[in-house]
Amino acid sequence: MIRRGILIIEDNMTDGLVIKRTLSKHLTDDITIVRDGMQAINALSEKLKSRPSKEDVVIPRLITLDLNMPKMNGFELLDRLREHEDTKSIPIIVLTSSQIPDEITRAYQMGVNNYVVKPTDHEKFEQTIEKIYRYWFEFSRIPED
């Protein structure tokens, strides 16, 4: 059975857990946190390889992506995700501390669906995740397959 999930790609585990905890209040989706682009590629590769089988597999219906990560940065990962047939239509929200205009432009040119600058204040960060939830799960429609 294929189930839908959320993939959080975030090297700061505190931020990743805030995102997961906040989304978990509203969603029953499987929510996975990986800490860098290579872990994301490996996790997605395993899930996509299992897809045709009868195994229980979780495919992301939404990805949050930090840009500044070790091993493979967010832009490198974004390029790979948008090239692959199975991942090119998954909505991707960049959730990063970078406010550099060139990075924002580049991210949109590479196909992100939303670019959000992480607030440094913990409470404001949680409120931002709540707003992301409302937009993507109450107002918008996400592809099911």
pLDDT for the residue 53: 54
pLDDT for the residue 54: 46
Residue 80 makes CB contacts below 8 A (sequence gap 6+) with 37, 41
Query: Would you give per-residue pLDDT tens digits along the chain (145 residues)?
Result: 455 789 999 999 999 999 999 999 998 888 999 999 999 998 888 766 655 554 556 678 899 999 999 889 999 999 999 998 888 899 999 999 999 999 999 999 999 999 999 999 999 999 999 999 999 989 988 776 5
| Cα torsion angle, 129, 131, 135, 139, sign | positive
Global pTM reads 0.89
Domains in the chain, please, with CATH? Answer: 2-139 (3.40.50.2300)
Rounded Cα gap, residues 137 and 133, in angstroms: 6
pLDDT for the residue 85: 85
What residues form DSSP beta bridges with 64?
A: 8, 93
Rounded Cα gap, residues 108 and 43, in angstroms: 24
Angle made by CA atoms 118, 17, 32, in degrees to the nearest 5: 105
